[in-house]
Amino acid sequence: MGFFDKLRGEFIDIIEMTDDSNDTLVWRFERYDNEIKNGAKLIVRQSQVAIFVNEGKIADCFESGTYELETQNLPILSTLKGWKHGFSSPFKAEVYFVNIRNFTDYKWGTKNPVMLRDPEFGPLRIRAFGNYAIRVADPKKFLIDIVGTDGHFTTDEISDQLRNLIVTRFTDCIAESKIPVLDMAANYDELSEYVTNKISPEFEELGIGITKFLIENISLPEAVEKALDKRSSMGILGNMNTYTQFQSANAMEAAANNPSGGASEGIGMGMGFAMANQMAQGHMNQQQTQPANTASNVQPSTAPSAPPPIPQEVSFFLAVAGQQKGPYPITQLKQMVGGGEFEKSTLVWKDGMANWTAAEDVAELKAIFGAMPPPIPPPIPGQ
């Protein structure tokens, strides 16, 4: 730099940020030999902070506004230099402008699928992506810990580090939440808030605040998505027989409207027969599954009915000499009447009777005794 350039630099008395790019986080004001004129004007625009650095130490910090650089406006720098009664022009200091506005629409995403154990599908791999917004929350910390002596620091120089931090914490949050994959879409807001709270302290350690974190999509591998689509289709179709009949009807209608001639008619007739066969089979299956105890479902049958079961002969218990005997069927009781082992006064009982009853008082047994001839009278004397 020539003598006149050096002289011109010393007498420029306006210090401001002239970088107008959209990705600049920190920009250093360029002066020849860092010489600033006493009484120079400092312009700090909205969403900016100006930081004075002297010999590697942060001195004074200015927020938005217009300042005239004098001893009273630079108390820390004056103390560092030992200027008790002001300072002579020029003085040396570095001025860094820190952009503290919101930087939006920065992307994040998983480079590789994240493994997790789903309660419904078991082990799965998922991918996720979204966007986030940041701003410099602590300009001094950010300048000391991240920027250093970089005269032009952009978001590209820190975006990879922030993205890796987000993906790592997001993976951990997804595993801890134990939310089923099918329910994650309904919990994007809750997951976003959970991840934001998880990563905010680590961003603050860098002097950065995360102002927005959004999950745009969580997806499954392509093969798994196809299998899930088939499963969903099965549920939407419902009754497969009805769906098959519907498809057959559509195909038959299309064949009938095809002007290609006899071939299409034959195809249409064949499909019609197939559809009729399917409908008949479906009707038969429906009849078989309908309940048989309703009057509306009773149909006349031409098939021979099976004979009813053979009725069982009624049996009776007998009370003989104070002891229970039997049971004896009526056929055997007839034989016992002939042998004198069963009489009208004999007490009998069968299932359904309340008490023991004399045989002559039981309707089923009266015929047994009525058919027997009376006893033979004794002979008349003299005859």
Q: pLDDT above 90 covers what percent of the chain? A: 28
Q: In this structure, what DSSP letter does residue 146 have? A: I
Based on the fold, state whether residues 150 and 214 are members of the same structural domain.
yes
End position of a domain, from candidates 168, 195, 224: 224
Based on the fold, state whether residues 120 and 138 are members of the same structural domain.
yes
pLDDT score for 267: 55
252 phi, psi to nearest 5 deg: -65, -40
Based on the fold, state whether residues 63 and 137 are members of the same structural domain.
no
* For residue 327, cis peptide bond before it (omega within 30 degrees of 0): yes
Based on the fold, state whether residues 107 and 219 are members of the same structural domain.
yes
3-state secondary structure of 16: coil
Considering the domain boundaries, does residue 150 fall inside one?
yes
Based on the fold, state whether residues 155 and 108 are members of the same structural domain.
yes
The amino acid at residue 112 is N
Considering the domain boundaries, does residue 377 fall inside one?
no
End position of a domain, from candidates 207, 224, 241: 224
CA distance 168 to 112: 11
Q: In this structure, what DSSP letter does residue 347 have? A: E
Considering the domain boundaries, does residue 30 fall inside one?
yes
Task: Report the domain count for the chain.
Answer: 3
CA distance 148 to 144: 5
Based on the fold, state whether residues 79 and 111 are members of the same structural domain.
no
CA atoms within 13 A on the CB side of 92: 7
pLDDT score for 132: 96
CA distance 282 to 276: 10
Based on the fold, state whether residues 81 and 112 are members of the same structural domain.
no
358 membership: H or E segment, kind and range? strand 357-358
Q: At 56, list the tokens.
A: 């590697």
Among 116, 111, 87, 207, which Cα is nearest to 164's?
111
CA distance 322 to 144: 118
CA distance 181 to 118: 7
End position of a domain, from candidates 208, 224, 240: 224
Based on the fold, state whether residues 76 and 165 are members of the same structural domain.
no
CA distance 49 to 207: 14
Based on the fold, state whether residues 84 and 124 are members of the same structural domain.
no
Beta strand 41-44 with 14-15 is parallel
CA distance 312 to 163: 90
CATH of the domain at 320: 3.30.1490.40
Considering the domain boundaries, does residue 166 fall inside one?
yes
Q: In this structure, what DSSP letter does residue 103 have? A: E
Based on the fold, state whether residues 113 and 214 are members of the same structural domain.
yes
The amino acid at residue 335 is Q
pLDDT score for 374: 58
Which domain, by its residues, includes 10? 3-99
Q: Using a CB cutoff of 8 Å and minimum separation of 24, what contacts does 115-122 make?
A: 116/174, 116/175, 118/180, 118/181, 119/178, 119/180, 120/180, 120/181, 120/182, 121/181, 121/224
Q: Are 81 and 60 in contact (CB under 8 A)?
A: no
Scan for tokens 């004896």, then name that residue: 328
CA distance 381 to 156: 150
Torsion of CA 287, 293, 299, 300, to 10 degrees: 140
Considering the domain boundaries, does residue 356 fall inside one?
yes
CA distance 135 to 103: 6
Q: Are 134 and 103 in contact (CB under 8 A)?
A: yes
pLDDT score for 353: 87
Question: Which parts of the chain sit beneath pLDDT 50?
Answer: 1, 3-4, 6-9, 292-298, 300-301
pLDDT score for 166: 93
141 phi, psi to nearest 5 deg: -65, -40
